[in-house]
């Protein structure tokens, strides 16, 4: 987005996608970003200021000068900074409107939700010395191909599935960083299913008889098998034992290593969603279905 695009028809199109002037004004007041017209006439003008500063490659002084030159706002760089500091929750709200607009509800077919996170180092020498970072937590929906959830935390905010609201029928796919029993219970309680990659010691494993299950021993015993598929129970601290399936797949090029999954899905659905398109090994399918 350029400074020119904030003043022409492209800006009007952007505003329309957010519901128009009235909706933008209402959400800004609700989120505490805009209380009265002092230096900035409206919430829409404030949004243009934010976009100019964040996307236009200018500093606070340059943004203030540009806004004055085009008749958008009349405020100092310090006043602009104070305005920006109040706009975080409002920006999260507007971003969620744009990102979730095309998401398909789970009632129209099972929605696949890919959950992951990433980190960015904080600016400043002191923050870097303390290993300070920002962590972005996201859920990406298929087949809509849109983000439906974004949350920003500092380094203390861990990767947990219970950060995200799920709907009945959702299929949640996450990597090994999300293998925590209590958040898994959160997903299942909402009527969703889960597929999570896990390390061999990702949880306390239990068999059908209620006794601890030795996963390493089971993998070692499967000397010639390419797939280990069996019921497994995981014990959360705040919920009843979770009945799941443990599916371990031997990596084709590294026979001594396994990909270990924990899932609440039935074998045939796991095969359709996850295995066949990515492994290139159709022979896995009947072994899972057995």
77-102 tens-digit pLDDT: 999 999 999 998 898 888 877 766 55
Nearest residue to 24 via CA among 83, 91, 73, 99: 91
Enter the tokens of residue 87.
Answer: 């706009």
Nearest residue to 93 via CA among 11, 32, 10, 159: 32
Note the pLDDT of residue 104.
47
Secondary element (H or E) of residue 246: strand 242-250
Q: pTM here?
A: 0.59
214-227 tens-digit pLDDT: 888 888 888 778 88
Check the CA dihedral 185-187-190-194 and report its sign: negative
Given a cut of 90, whether residue 11 has pLDDT beyond it is: no
Stronger pLDDT, 3 or 222, i.e. the higher one: 222
CA distances from 266 to 131, 235, 247, 274 (A): 42, 20, 11, 12
Averaged over 267-279, what is the pLDDT?
Answer: 57
13-45 tens-digit pLDDT: 888 888 888 999 999 999 999 988 888 999 999
Check the CA dihedral 221-227-233-236 and report its sign: positive
Enter the tokens of residue 273.
Answer: 């969603």
């Amino acid at each position: 987005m350029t400074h020119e695009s904030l003043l022409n028809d492209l800006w009007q199109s952007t505003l329309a996608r957010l519901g128009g002037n009235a909706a933008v004004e209402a959400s800004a007041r609700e989120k505490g970003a805009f209380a009265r017209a002092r230096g900035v006439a409206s919430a829409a003008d404030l949004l243009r200021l934010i976009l100019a500063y964040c996307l236009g490659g200018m500093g606070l002084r340059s943004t203030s000068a540009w806004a004055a030159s085009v008749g958008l706002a009349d405020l100092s760089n310090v006043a602009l900074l104070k305005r920006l500091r109040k706009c975080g929750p409002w920006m999260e709200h507007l971003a969620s409107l744009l990102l979730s607009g095309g998401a398909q509800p789970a009632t129209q077919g099972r929605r696949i939700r890919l959950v992951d996170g990433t980190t960015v180092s904080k600016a400043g020498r002191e923050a870097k010395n303390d290993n300070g970072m920002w962590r972005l937590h996201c859920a990406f929906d298929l087949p809509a191909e849109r983000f439906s959830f974004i949350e920003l935390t500092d380094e203390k905010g861990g990767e947990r599935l219970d950060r995200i609201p799920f709907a009945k029928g959702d299929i949640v796919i996450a990597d090994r960083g999300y293998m925590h029993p209590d958040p898994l219970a959160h997903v299942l309680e909402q009527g969703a299913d889960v597929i999570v990659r896990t390390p061999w010691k990702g949880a306390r494993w239990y068999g059908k008889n209620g006794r601890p299950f030795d996963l390493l021993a089971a993998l070692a015993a499967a000397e010639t098998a390419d797939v280990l598929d069996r019921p497994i129970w995981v014990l959360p601290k705040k919920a009843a034992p979770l009945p799941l399936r443990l599916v371990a797949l031997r990596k084709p090029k590294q026979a001594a290593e396994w990909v270990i999954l924990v899932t609440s899905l039935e074998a045939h659905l796991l095969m359709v969603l996850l295995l066949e398109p990515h492994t290139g090994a159709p022979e896995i399918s009947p072994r899972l279905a057995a």
